[in-house]
Chains A and B, each alone.
Chain A
Amino acid sequence: MIVNLGYTALLLALICSLYSIVSARVYINTNRYQWVDSARNAVIAVWFLLTLACLSLVYLLTNEHFEIEYVASVSSRAMPWYLKATALWGGQAGSLLFWSWLMSTYTGVVMLRDWSKERDMQPYIITASMLTLAFFISLNAFVENPFNVLWIDSFGNITASVMRPNANLMFTPKDGAGLNPLLRHPGMIIHPPMLYLGFVGFIIPYSFAIGALAVGRTDSVWIRATRRWTLVAWLFLSLGLLLGGRWAYDVLGWGGYWGWDPVEIAALMPWLTGTAFLHSVIIQEKHGMFKRWNMILIILTYALVIFGTFLTRSGVLSSVHAFAQSSIGPLFFMFITITFTISLVLLFRGWETLGSSKTLTSWLSREGLFLLNNLLFMGILVACFWGVIYPLISEIITGQKVTVGPPFYERTTGPQFAALLFLMGIVPLVAWRITTVNRLGHLIWKPTIISLVVPIISMISGVMNFAALLSLWLASLVFCVTIYEFYRGAIARSKSSGNNFYVALWLLISRNRRRYGGYIVHLGVVFMAVGIIGVEMFQTETQGTLALGERMHLGEYSLVYRDLTEFSANDGRVVTRATLTVYKNNKAIGKLEPQRDYYKDSMQRMTIPDIYSTLEGDLYVLLIDWKPVGLQQATFKVYLNPLINWIWIGGFGFILGTLVATWPDQRDRDILTNNKSFAQPL
């Protein structure tokens, strides 16, 4: 039976991952290569076994095996096949399995690289990563088992377990409960995999860091070897966060994309430390500084990944994302404590040797400003962390729970994000070691003057909000400086080489992929900032009850209510859909159909907005209510979200920039041909 196949594969995966740890240990003690090779093979075998377990579960889901507890809880006959298949990550047990599979993909692929130069670190890298993986697999095998079968005894009591209890029969419900309607959305199909790929990807730099600490290597090999892995993990985490925002915007029907919900913050926290890490490793690679700090950052990132998973999955939080109350909370807590303690012990053991002979002397140097960038990321992290744990702390100290909400996060992180934007604007023009104010001024005056155009035009068109003007100026400053950097570099190259400007620009980027890839990501951040400023500071809204043919206005737009239809869809929901014509400056430009779905089985309503989307902004319409047949009146809530699409466009900047930065460049290829040990699988 498929269910047995799946569960056996899961148990074998656990055994293989434990074996790889033992085998790595034997290699450390005996120094015989065959043991570390055997450990490596076991790591790869774990991937095959977990693939088998995942495929088994997908098979059970798509073939309506409702005798499986997990299948019955997240799938139903009426669901289309792709939703059945992706219900693999629609509930606690399945998404944990999927999580482990993704992690095993990373650890498996990293085993395929050439290890000859890092043979000493390899057993420790295997130990750190496989210990984590074994923890997650055992959660699946023993606590949240996706392969539990439903059994019924002669009194009609239903239990779920792998083995059949005495005097029980298998119980097959006629239909499953189905995926929560809120999750039946394309955004929900790709948001969790992206986020998970981001989360679990940090296992690679973390285990390399632990490997370096364990063998006492103080060079930057672990950073260079994992640079692309870190970037890829970071990109997936960023996209996961963005797609989550997009899903909330499309589905939750409150006109927003980010609510400072504790689970959103839990996913943001490793992103903050991960982004700080991406910046500070550059200093270590170039100048051998910040070695301890980079260790701290990657350990913190890993701990925050596990902490975020714990917050989401233990049921300690009330949140849009939280899974049901689960008994895995204490296990997670133990695991975080143990791994964090071991990491810190290793770090303090190597503390002295990780020192640097160079010291920072001036804030106005690239190193100094990178440090400031890191301080700000940490500041934002502390604010987020404080906000999440404040209710728990206040309860312990005063006995009364005190909470903070979105205003707290907005006011504490807003100024720090603005400061980060400012840094993004000036740092590209600041030299290593030390810069004088004169030299910086000489470089920056042209882009600064051009950047003032944006706030001045905004002011002329009536924007008087100081915070909005300041942040618009900061965004345009970063944009101008970044473009100026491309321009300056290309002009210099074209003068020295005689190539024309575009060839020079192409060569400039392809010879310095990391730097210019980073700048492209910065441009993505600028677009995102513009979108956030637009929707946070200039959102307008209105509401109204309209009879057929009546009109309502918002900004330049107006809407005429045309029709209301009600029908039953074949997946068990009743759909009520309104049709409105959109006018801009009294010219008809389109049609909107906001709707309300009612799922009969789960008695759940779902208000689905319809959006008229342009680069200038979104007209976001919700169907709130309607009068019974005859009167044909309906109530609508309408939001105008200026510039919001630039947030998603910024996401493409992240993708493009990361692709440029991770693409193998000429220098890598030279190293590759001269010295095979630097070959990387990505």
Chain B
Amino acid sequence: MTSYNNTTAQSNYQRRKFLLGGFLILSAIIYLIVSTTQSTSRYYYTVDELVIEQTAAIGENVRISGAVIGDSIRYDADDLKLDFTVAHVPGDSDEIVAKGGLARVLHEAIANPNQSRLSVSYQGPMPDLLRDEAQAIMDGHLNEDNVFVADTLLLKCPTKYEDELPGQTNN
């Protein structure tokens, strides 16, 4: 068995060294998290905020969500280019619940021609769940022609069934 008896001064010195090391490691981890948050975070806007209030600069990475308009879906399979239009839906979940649930909000957003709309362009396989009245959650940026270029595309399909499962594609 190793002896655990150190003189007090010596053990205090070692303890301080030990604590300093721990402090440095923790600081490094916190720095890593904070700096990465700053460089990778993106604003989550609604279509209204993006189109009407023009909150994001052209080229700025943002996340938006909207209701997919089925008739607008165009897919060019030769170069996997997908274009469609989304209509504004509220971003706040309490507001969605107050208006009668996600399925109803999505349905009304598409039926209402005065709702603000946004063209989206995406490169990749067409997600299985992309269809009329699905909710699209997209990461990407607005280009000069006011088209939203999506890098990732996540879909949520509220149905009357319990198992609402969105699909997922990554670029």
Contacts and interface: CB of A to CB of B under 8 A. Distances in A.
B111 to A, nearest CB: 19
Nearest to B25: A375
Nearest to B46: A401
A261 interface: yes
Contact of B44 (A90, A363, A401): A401
A402 B18 CA distance: 37
A73 B63 CA distance: 33
Contacts of B14: 361-362
A416 B36 CA distance: 13
A622 B125 contact: yes
Contact of B80 (A321, A386, A635): A635
Contacts of A216: none
B162 A91 contact: yes
B57 interface: no
A407 interface: yes
Given A316-B93, A625-B75, A324 B40 contact: no
Given A318-B135, A403-B44, A404-B42, 14 more contacts: A92-B162, A177-B161, A179-B163, A252-B168, A256-B170, A259-B168, A324-B163, A361-B18, A386-B33, A401-B44, A404-B40, A411-B40, A416-B29, A622-B125
A512 interface: no
A405 interface: yes
Contacts of B15: 359-361
B72 interface: no
B59 interface: no
Contacts of B126: 624-625
Nearest to A178: B161
Interface of A: 73-74, 90-92, 177, 179-180, 182-183, 248, 252-256, 259, 261, 316, 318-325, 358-363, 368, 371-372, 375-376, 379, 382-383, 386, 390-391, 394, 400-408, 411-412, 415-416, 432-434, 543, 545, 602-607, 622, 624-626, 635, 637
A178 to B, nearest CB: 8
Interface in B79-131: 79-80, 91, 93, 97, 101-102, 124-126, 128-129, 131
Contacts of B137: 318
Given A253-B125, A390-B41, A368 B80 contact: no
A605 B128 contact: yes
B43 A402 contact: yes
B169 interface: yes
Contacts of A91: 162-163
A324 B97 CA distance: 12
A404 B40 CA distance: 6
Interface string B1-31: 0101010000100110010011001100100
30 contacts: A90-B163, A177-B160, A180-B161, A180-B163, A180-B165, A252-B168, A322-B164, A360-B15, A363-B18, A375-B22, A379-B32, A382-B29, A382-B33, A386-B33, A400-B43, A402-B41, A404-B41, A405-B152, A408-B36, A408-B41, A416-B32, A432-B2, A434-B2, A543-B79, A606-B128, A624-B125, A625-B75, A625-B77, A635-B78, A637-B125
Contact of B164 (A324, A394, A402, A603): A324
A402 B44 contact: yes
B42 A359 contact: no
Contact of B37 (A408, A543, A626): A408
Q: Which of B22, B91, B125, B135 has the most CB of A within 10 A?
A: B125
Contact of A404 (B37, B125, B166, B170): B37
A412 B168 contact: no
Question: Which 8 residue pairs of A and B lie closest in terms of their CB atoms, listed nearest first?
Answer: A625-B77, A401-B44, A180-B163, A379-B29, A361-B14, A635-B77, A408-B40, A605-B128
A319 B166 contact: yes
Given A252-B167, A319-B166, A404-B41, A360 B159 contact: no
Contacts of A401: 43-44, 91
B51 interface: no
Contacts of A368: 18
B102 A325 contact: yes
A38 B163 CA distance: 41
Contacts of B48: none
B141 interface: no
A416 B41 CA distance: 20
B73 interface: no
Nearest to B77: A625
Contacts of A318: 135, 137, 154, 156, 166
Contacts of B128: 253, 604-607
B77 A624 contact: yes
A434 B11 CA distance: 13
Contacts of A183: 163, 165
Nearest to A73: B162
A179 B164 CA distance: 11
Contact of A375 (B26, B125, B165): B26
Q: Which of A254, A386, A433 has the most CB of B within 10 A?
A: A254
Contact of A386 (B37, B139, B158, B166): B37
Nearest to A323: B162
Given A318-B156, A359-B15, A361-B18, A604 B77 contact: no
Contact of A324 (B4, B80, B154, B162): B162
Given A325-B97, A325-B101, A74 B125 contact: no
A30 to B, nearest CB: 44
B122 to A, nearest CB: 13
B161 A602 contact: yes
Contacts of B169: 253-254
A400 B55 CA distance: 11
Given A372-B25, A405-B152, A362 B77 contact: no
B28 to A, nearest CB: 9
B107 to A, nearest CB: 15
Q: Which of B125, B162, B170 has the most CB of A within 10 A?
A: B162
Given A316-B93, A319-B166, A402 B26 contact: no
Contacts of B44: 391, 400-403
Nearest to B160: A177
B78 to A, nearest CB: 5
A402 B166 contact: no
A605 B126 CA distance: 10
Contact of A320 (B25, B43, B79, B167): B167
B140 to A, nearest CB: 11
A252 B102 CA distance: 23
Contacts of B157: 604
A359 B15 CA distance: 8
A224 B159 CA distance: 49
B129 A604 contact: yes
A375 B29 CA distance: 9
A606 B164 CA distance: 15
Contacts of A324: 158, 162-164
A668 to B, nearest CB: 24
B168 A261 contact: yes
A405 B139 contact: yes
A379 B30 CA distance: 8
B20 to A, nearest CB: 10
Contacts of B167: 182, 252, 320
B94 to A, nearest CB: 11
Nearest to A255: B170
B81 to A, nearest CB: 11
Contacts of B158: 324
A146 B14 CA distance: 60
A433 B1 CA distance: 10
